[in-house]
A and B are shown apart, each in its own frame.
Chain A
Amino acid sequence: MIELIHVTKRFGAAVAVDDISLSVARGELCVLVGTSGCGKSTTLRMINRLIEHSEGEIHIDDQQIRAFREETLRRRMGYAIQSTGLFPHWTVARNIGLVPRLLKWPTARIQARVEELMALLGLSMEEFSGKYPHQLSGGQAQRVGVARALAADPDILLMDEPFGALDPITRESLQDELCELQSRLHKTIVFVTHDMDEALRLADHLVVMHQGRIVQQGRPLELLREPADGFVESLLGGEDRGLKEAALLPVSQRMLPLGPRLLARERIGQHASLREALSVMLWRHAERLTVVDDDDMPVGELSLRRLVGARSDE
């Protein structure tokens, strides 16, 4: 658990972060989102003391972060950044084993852990362990970056726009992988991004920052439905909000049980989002879709009226 209590950061006369309070529960993925220069990265870097806060208190599991030595604190947290920061003169395996080596784990244990992580991130040991970072694609390098952050099995993971430099397709697949990983590992993650779609997709807890302050925080759907002010609304995409919300809701939430009518020809998976369902309808000129489960068996149906319909059934 991470807690920021009335934290302020000044650089000289300039206030980068202005009296923010924030609590990230254990196992929660908290996304800090905002325009560049809003203080989101500064906030992240204060948590592992790469930047020292000027006022207020920051607690990790109810202990002040200043109670730890800087290095000790940082070795307890994973850290992944946009440029990956992989050491170009070290192999992939050595890069991943960095923090365990700093913690003086025995060699055999480091080796085993590196293998485990590479398997977890879908990097084949024999293909990648001896490679150097410049021989990797952007997506592979970022996977290694995430593996390195997870190496010493920290409870806390700090991620500073880790997917910012990737192409959209690689970025989406890594976002999916992160969601998947998180559903298994339950880390406490603070994730910084300026990409609202990414934020909505990943966040359990969404924090919108503007000019060093937190303007609104809560669950993604809460923010979408009741933005605190014009800034949050515009950041969330203004008129586009309907689609962003639809992207967060699964088809299974709006579908009806199978009726006596003939099955509609067009199909959609029950885990697909309403946005995807709408897209299929638009594309196929269909008003009804058959909802199928993972084995392609019909489990319900979704009509256009239902899709756009009342919110009461949620």
Chain B
Amino acid sequence: MRPEGRGPNVVLLSLTLVALAAWLGLDSVSVAANRIVSGTGYRVDEVIGAGGALATSLPWLALAGLAWQPARRHLLLALALVVLMLSALPGWLALSAVFLVDGAQARLGIGAGIWVVLFLLLLVMIELRSRLALTRLLGWALLLPPVLSMGFCLARWLEPLALWQEYRGRSGQFLGAVGEHLLLVGVAVGTSLVLGVLLALAMRRWPGVQKMGFGVLNFLQTIPSIALFGLLLAPLAWLSANVDWLSALGVSGIGWAPALLALVGYSLLPMVRNTFVALEAVDPGVIDAARGMGMSRSQVFRQVRLPLALPVILEGIRITTVQAIGLTAVAALIGAGGLGTFIFQGLGQAAMDMVLLGALPILLLALLVDALLGALTDILRPGGAE
């Protein structure tokens, strides 16, 4: 075997070369005369000429060179270069806007080339982070310069960016939608956490509940979400028509009520399963010792079983939350609000940028929650113990 650090880092090298190919070969940006017509795509060389395009490939070649001999010093340089390139991307968009866009109605779209490059650069960053054994926190901090750069460019030059235009047209609505989305997810996950823990405890106590509980929850999980919304429509409409206090609360066949019910239904399975498995999986020897030492039942539960199960339970909360963030998008179909509204409106108007306005924040939210809860799980795992 070759010693660590010798020989090219194949992952980095191939990611870099593929990204370079995408950068030069795919449409980088597109320009449309107005919101409705589809835009014309431009490759890099069509924006700044062949010479300019060759010049922009220099940092890529430098990155490939660093990956060829991946000593730690080179990898650190590569990381700095990647952060720099990510920060330069908004600048590139700004440059394209200045070169290509004229007319107040014209809009700049982000092309496939940039999306692919963005994705691959982030992969490169992840690879570098793990090679250099950087902490999670530092990894996130490194994303700050690109984000700041994007903010700066948006304020100065990126007026015509289609996504930005869509946002500015409905910024109030957007913030409201984010709020609704988070509220739905929060309430659904919170409710299913409470119900899930209670159910898991009941299952541990009564084996009968366990069999039936998992049967029902597994069944719920197999119903497609849109079908479930449909199924809930009739009974909820009937309830709100016949029960006064429910209709006073705002419960009806469409809106937040069926969405919340469905979300809780879907969230219960991962929540219950993880909580149950986590509590069951605690080493019986440890429990035996705890009781043999004279801990009371509640002491065993609070001081031993629960803390040992906590990382796995948090894992359940993480999975559930990420899943709920995605599912809530579908709930917009039945008028529950949230970011899904933009997706479906955008689809209806064939305005892809509006779809992105809904989809991108959902993606970011999911990633953010994933990272936060992942970090929390790490903190709660003492001494790196399993």
Residues of A within 8 A of B (CB): 45, 48, 50, 70-75, 79, 81-91, 98-99, 102, 131-135, 145, 148, 158
Contact = CB atoms under 8 A, between A and B. Distances in A.
B385 A50 contact: no
A71 B308 contact: no
B295 interface: yes
Nearest to A103: B294
B294 A75 contact: yes
Contact of B385 (A75, A132, A148): A132
Interface string B262-287: 00000000000000000000010111
26 contacts: A48-B292, A50-B292, A70-B294, A74-B293, A81-B288, A81-B289, A82-B285, A83-B286, A84-B285, A85-B283, A87-B289, A88-B386, A89-B308, A89-B382, A90-B382, A98-B295, A99-B294, A102-B294, A102-B295, A102-B299, A131-B383, A132-B383, A132-B384, A134-B384, A135-B383, A145-B289
Contact of A132 (B286, B294, B382): B382
A50 B291 contact: yes
A75 B290 CA distance: 11
A82 B293 CA distance: 14
Interface residues of B, number: 22
A305 B296 CA distance: 61
Contact of A72 (B290, B294, B384): B294
Contacts of A84: 285, 289
B166 to A, nearest CB: 49
A82 B289 CA distance: 10
B41 interface: no
B292 A89 contact: no
Interface string B367-386: 00000000000000011111
B310 to A, nearest CB: 9
A78 to B, nearest CB: 9
A86 B289 contact: yes
Contacts of A145: 289
Interface string B294-307: 11100100001001
A46 B386 CA distance: 32
Contacts of A133: 385
A133 B304 CA distance: 14
A71 B382 contact: no
B294 A85 contact: no
Given A99-B293, A102-B293, 20 more contacts: A71-B295, A74-B292, A81-B288, A82-B285, A84-B285, A85-B285, A85-B287, A87-B286, A87-B290, A88-B286, A88-B308, A88-B386, A91-B383, A98-B295, A131-B383, A132-B382, A134-B383, A134-B386, A145-B289, A148-B293
Contacts of A85: 283, 285-290, 292
